[in-house]
Structure 1
């Protein structure tokens, strides 16, 4: 069938768009990363402050994106915004990084997390199929991870309504389950003295390092600028857990009344998730001691040394006993499956937009008879599955986090550029608090990037290398076009 007979259908309402924002954000991070932050900061107050900063940064960025979404309610979202402000090369580098690492890497990581928690119910998933040397093993879990990606991709090729239903059902389920965990956690936790103990000397920060070889714990007190540096370095954990909110902009061409509904969904989705994340961390601090013994029981290990960093599972165990492990595993399976549904649905639209600009494989710019970019979805699926096989998706995500922050900075600064270049352009929604809030976001995020350059130079440098590798690929596509 010819392309002319098909076009992206506006069939997603405000609730659907909001569920994509919230559902794409909530994966497995909230159940794990507080453990890393506890070791980096060692202070209940500073942990909550870091989550609050994360939420405010995310919401301020979302509110700023609303202006761009209203101006350009087209498939591709952030890719389109960057192109209008900076040109084709910079927008391609963003799309290149999203395809090679950001979107597909997150899909792979979330799928593997889904499979790993499925192994709680089906231990056979942990069995190795084959090994290469002493460092690589291909397991049944990786097979299940790839199967889940293929399944969700197939469902999404059958029309946006199928993806919408899955997203709404799974997002609703995990929101209800998370609120239940928070309510019961706070109720039980506040009947003990754990919370008050955690907030004794609550501003006293310290970095804790456990050496497994010698079984020794080293504690270093943090003061002054060292605290700022520690927050700047560890906030990458909470920012990663709060990422992917911008995915709803990729599917702008399929949202009803996008000039109103995209800004509203960005605000509502990020607000809901910010509240949930802060309450979840308060529940953790009410149920588990912040400090702990690396070789202790679930409670004795505390948040800092939760078994396999699974602070969510430890909290569930306090609430429900041993069955809590299975309940939490089920919750994370629901959470990650729903998260990937949104990521897969959205990502294909970005690559479709790139293909329409002749900056991606031509076939990815075609729609099937369900009016969805089927080939773009399958290309995304194949690369994500290869990352699952490689086992290197985690490293790649670390490298790309810095680059992702840089593209957020570029996009927000693009508001200022377009206000100057196109002062008379239609802006149904204007960035909240402009110019103060966008400037504040730029300053704080630039500070985080600078801190990462200082404290994690290798990974940030490799992130920039991944972006730079897209330059010759861009010129290859341009020459191919000619």
Structure 2
């Protein structure tokens, strides 16, 4: 293996990075979470507020990470940030959590949702859902076997493609909807938990994925400038889009009807507004949206595997760090993620896995948020990007992270113990790997 050429290529520009941020965030969440957010918020006004608040928390987090990422523009993202801030052990655990649990589970969940829509679209039985999901993962994985330009181009295409049905839903709801988006209450109060916090938590699941662009820092042409701009503009665009979709949906479909329809709300809206053929077209757009999200995650997670393997932090690091001579793509790392995601999809419930992963990754988000105060004191070099309204923006990000952690602990303490245990198991594995390579931790 030619170690001198075993490096990733810096070829991603601002528009590619921006499309990856938007494409990675906008997937199934906004289309499938409307009913659950409304159910917990108990009114249309509070549901809209929940989406806005979730977006603001995410934007504060993005502004905080943007300053940190601009000072550490390397492949690996959160894994590298945590290591530089808190040492090798914490950094390894951040990377281990993402490559073994969080990444594969999120990919499996998105592919699972996409397969449900695809099977319904073609009138196939539920037995086809796992095969369709596996095919989708393999297809997107194959795209990312080539140069990162191919995956980025696919991300741009799918991002543009997903904006078409989104624009259609927003326009039809805002201009042809007959309901007042504000002030609608739920008649079946007993169905709702009555917890506004849980409603906001549900929206945060929909916003998650924005930080994955940081994993591509080593492949951007000018990461110190591109990374902060892509994160800030990307999250801001998604916040506006999510708010408009929620308002449009509530104007076109009454709140109680949204609760009754559940995950079928968007399809009902499309079919009612545009007819049977129009509904099919919107469904295709949503499927494209999910493919784009799948692609964004398939681009980013193998880069964490690659970054860890380059440091001999994983078993079989020699193979996992391999990149193709021409396209500079981490193909073995991509295969690794594909296999784990497929296994999780076949043997586990991806929905619960992804929910628990949000808790786990927010532990490391919080560490990163606190890291901005450490860098301000220890790093005397000029900052390529400074978080505005410091220290209030990172404080809001920290409070939002604590909110996520407390909410999830209350909702699923057993699952939390399980996932914390999976993260801790990484420590003896790191010890054995380092012993094999004759290295110290």
Shorter-chain TM range is over 0.9
TM-score (norm 2): 0.94
When Rg is computed on C-alpha atoms for both structures, the one with the higher figure is: 1
Q: Which residue in the other structure is 1:212 paired with?
A: none
- For structure 1, list consecutive stretches of 5 or more residues without a partner in the other structure: 128-138, 210-218, 223-229, 292-301
Following TM superposition, by how much is the alpha carbon of 1:465 offset from its aligned partner in structure 2, in angstroms? Answer: 2.7
Query: Relative to total residues, which structure has the larger strand share, 1 or 2?
Result: 1
Q: Which residue in the other structure is 1:143 paired with?
A: 131
- For structure 2, list consecutive stretches of 5 or more residues without a partner in the other structure: none
* Counterpart among 352, 356, 364 of residue 310 in structure 2: 356
Q: Distance in 2 between matches of 1:208 and 1:47?
A: 17
Secondary structure of 2:120 counterpart: coil
Q: Distance in 1 between matches of 2:259 and 2:33?
A: 10
Q: How has the CA–CA distance of structure 1 residues 123 and 206 changed in structure 2, closer, same or farther, with 3 Å as cutoff?
A: closer
Q: Distance in 2 between matches of 1:100 and 1:278?
A: 33
Q: Which residue in the other structure is 2:183 paired with?
A: 199
Q: Distance in 1 between matches of 2:174 and 2:355?
A: 33
Q: How has the CA–CA distance of structure 1 residues 23 and 104 changed in structure 2, closer, same or farther, with 3 Å as cutoff?
A: same
Q: Which residue in the other structure is 1:234 paired with?
A: 199
Contact 1:3–1:367 under 8 Å retained in 2? no
More displaced 10-residue stretch of structure 1: 444-453 or 352-361: 444-453
TM-score (norm 1): 0.86
* Counterpart among 361, 370, 373 of residue 416 in structure 1: 373
Equivalent residue pairs, number: 435
* Counterpart among 275, 288, 291 of residue 321 in structure 1: 275
* Counterpart among 141, 154, 170 of residue 166 in structure 1: 154
Q: Which residue in the other structure is 1:298 paired with?
A: none
Following TM superposition, by how much is the alpha carbon of 1:350 offset from its aligned partner in structure 2, in angstroms? Answer: 0.9
Q: Which residue in the other structure is 2:31 paired with?
A: 31
Contact 1:31–1:313 under 8 Å retained in 2? no
Q: Distance in 2 between matches of 1:448 and 1:311?
A: 26
More displaced 10-residue stretch of structure 1: 114-123 or 241-250: 114-123
Q: Which residue in the other structure is 1:339 paired with?
A: 293
Q: Distance in 2 between matches of 1:305 and 1:99?
A: 37
Q: Distance in 2 between matches of 1:113 and 1:444?
A: 27
Following TM superposition, by how much is the alpha carbon of 1:426 offset from its aligned partner in structure 2, in angstroms? Answer: 4.1
Residues 1:18 and 2:18 are matched in the alignment: yes
Q: Which residue in the other structure is 1:227 paired with?
A: none
Following TM superposition, by how much is the alpha carbon of 1:236 offset from its aligned partner in structure 2, in angstroms? Answer: 2.4
Q: Distance in 2 between matches of 1:471 and 1:8?
A: 28
Following TM superposition, by how much is the alpha carbon of 1:205 offset from its aligned partner in structure 2, in angstroms? Answer: 10
Secondary structure of 2:180 counterpart: helix
Secondary structure of 2:37 counterpart: helix
Residues 1:244 and 2:209 are matched in the alignment: yes
* Counterpart among 240, 259, 279 of residue 304 in structure 1: 259
Kindly report structure 1 stretches of 4+ aligned residues shifted beyond 6 Å: none
Q: Which residue in the other structure is 1:296 paired with?
A: none
Pairs within 5 Å for 1:26-425? 26-124=26-124, 126=125, 139-189=127-177, 192=178, 194-195=179-180, 199-200=183-184, 207-209=189-191, 222=194, 230-291=195-256, 302-307=257-262, 309-360=263-314, 361-362=316-317, 363-369=319-325, 370-420=327-377, 422-425=378-381
Following TM superposition, by how much is the alpha carbon of 1:429 offset from its aligned partner in structure 2, in angstroms? Answer: 0.8
Query: Relative to total residues, which structure has the larger helix share, 1 or 2?
Result: 2
Q: Distance in 1 between matches of 2:359 and 2:173?
A: 34
